[in-house]
Structures are given as C-alpha cells and as structure tokens.
Structure 1
Amino acid sequence: MFLILVVIAASCAAPKDSTKSVVLKAENDSTQKDTTEVVALDPGFESWYAMHDNKANYRSKQYYHNWNVRYVREWNLKASTYPHAQLFNGQINYDFSEDYPLEVEHKLFMYFQFVEHKLGIPILTGGSRPQPVF
C-alpha cells in the first residue's frame, strides 16, 4: 500500500498558462523504507537544478535547514499579505521540527534560490542572505 503525505505545497505567481510549485512528499511503502522527496512542478526548476546541483559544494544539513526555516517563514508571511500574495500563492506547510534528509533540505533550499535568482522574486528581505551555492 502506498501512502503519500503532502508536507509542503507552495506556488509562485506565474502566467495563467503555467504553474509554479514545489511539493515535499513522504512515501511509505511496505516493500521499501520511508522516503521523502521534493517534487518541483515548475517546468524550469528541474533543468536549472540539474545544472547547479554539485555535491562537492554541499553544505551541512543544518545549514540548509536553518535557511529553509527562514525562507518558509518569509514565504508564508508574504503569501498571506497583499500585494505579495500575488507572487507567493499558497503557504508552505514545512515542519520545522522534522528531520528531513540532506537531499530534501538541499533541494528545497535550491528551489528558493531558483525563485530568487532565476525568477528574480526576492523572498528574504534585509539582514543576511545565504552565499550562492551555484
């Protein structure tokens, strides 16, 4: 039996004919151990990620988790306030206490980098920012 839990669903404003979103899902199957993966529904993200995913440049899981907490908080704040809600359509249900695998934390972090750097939509305002990892 296959169980899918949608843990995170977020979307970025896009032209009416395209959808930009990312989903973090946990899969539980009796034939394999539990897995969690980030599924980006934005058609441009996977190719961008493939070009910028370099395991040699990975930082610690805690590094990505700390930035993801900040990004998710800021994203959710913007998703709930006008005029930002038009760009950040939908809140992210990211469990800050969950121990996600490094690959999940990294890919989610990279999605936020994609939104900021490739799409040009700032998420974090003021304060420190992560150094680009690509």
Structure 2
Amino acid sequence: MKTLNLFLVIILVVMLTRCGSAFMNSSIKNNERPVAIVNDSLEYEIIIVDVGFNSYLNTIARPRGFHSLKYLEIKNRFLVPIWNQRVANPSQFNPVVYENRIEYDFYTEYGYEVNYLLFQYFQFIQYKYRIMLR
C-alpha cells in the first residue's frame, strides 16, 4: 500500500518524562495500543504509536463530533507546517518529539477521522511535553 508520510510514528519513549501525569500510570501503559487508520481508496495510512495517546483520546481529548471538519482542517493546515519546520531543525527542537515529517496535502480531502486524529495528536503532544505549537 502506498503510504503518504502521514506517519506520526513516535517510538515508545524509554524514559517517561512526565511520570506524574494521571494518564501515564503503569496500568494504562501496559494496555496502550497503536492508533491506526487505513483507507485503501485514498491510499493513505496513519499510525500513531506514543505512550499515552490512546488514554488521552479516551479521557482528555474532545470527543469526535465536537469540532467540525472545517475547523479541524484549518487547524491542521496551520499546525502541520509548524511541525515540519521543527522536524527540519533537530538542533533547535527535540528530535525525540519531532521525529517524522508530516506529508499533509492541503488539497486532499482526508475526511473527519484523519483530521480528528491528527489534530488530537498535536493537542496530545502539547499536553504531554508542555510545549506550544505556534
């Protein structure tokens, strides 16, 4: 399957820097599974492997349907270039956090689920690492 580099694959972080967070306790870490979306008709795939992301989706993230598709697309169009700029500058930004470039075509209609998960991943990164994507 052809894959847009819309991979947000962050290899499991060996050292948990935010051990005090409620969603990072050991019982949750053991049940963590990757979030994957596959759509053969558009030939894209997203795989998000990051400790705590599933828990974040189930406990802290706004539920599906809270934001409109248009809102999510606008936010992702704003956040993806910021992310990619940080990936391109590993000496200035933590390469453990900003590991992979995101190939997000502004003219492709990815649908609600992809835009929702991508936006929530950006929110999760900001929450987990206490950074701002601006």
Shorter-chain TM band: 0.5 to 0.7
Q: Are positions 1:50 and 2:58 aligned together?
A: yes
- Bigger RCO (CA 8 Å, 6+ sep): 2
1:73 maps to a residue whose letter is P
Query: Which structure 1 residue ranges, 5 or more long, are not aligned?
Result: 125-134
Give the match's secondary structure for 2:57.
helix
Partner of 1:10: 8
Partner of 2:72: 64
Q: More strand by proportion, 1 or 2?
A: 1
CA distance in 2: counterparts of 1:78 and 1:46, whole angstroms = 24
Partner of 2:112: 102
Q: CA RMSD in A?
A: 3.1
Q: TM-score of the superposition, structure 2-length normalised?
A: 0.67
CA distance in 1: counterparts of 2:42 and 2:13, whole angstroms = 36
CA distance in 2: counterparts of 1:44 and 1:54, whole angstroms = 16
Deviation at 1:98, TM superposition (A): 0.9
CA distance in 1: counterparts of 2:62 and 2:44, whole angstroms = 18
Aligned residue pairs total: 114
Q: Does the Cα contact within 8 Å between 1:45 and 1:114 map onto a contact in 2?
A: yes
Identity of aligned pairs, percent? 24
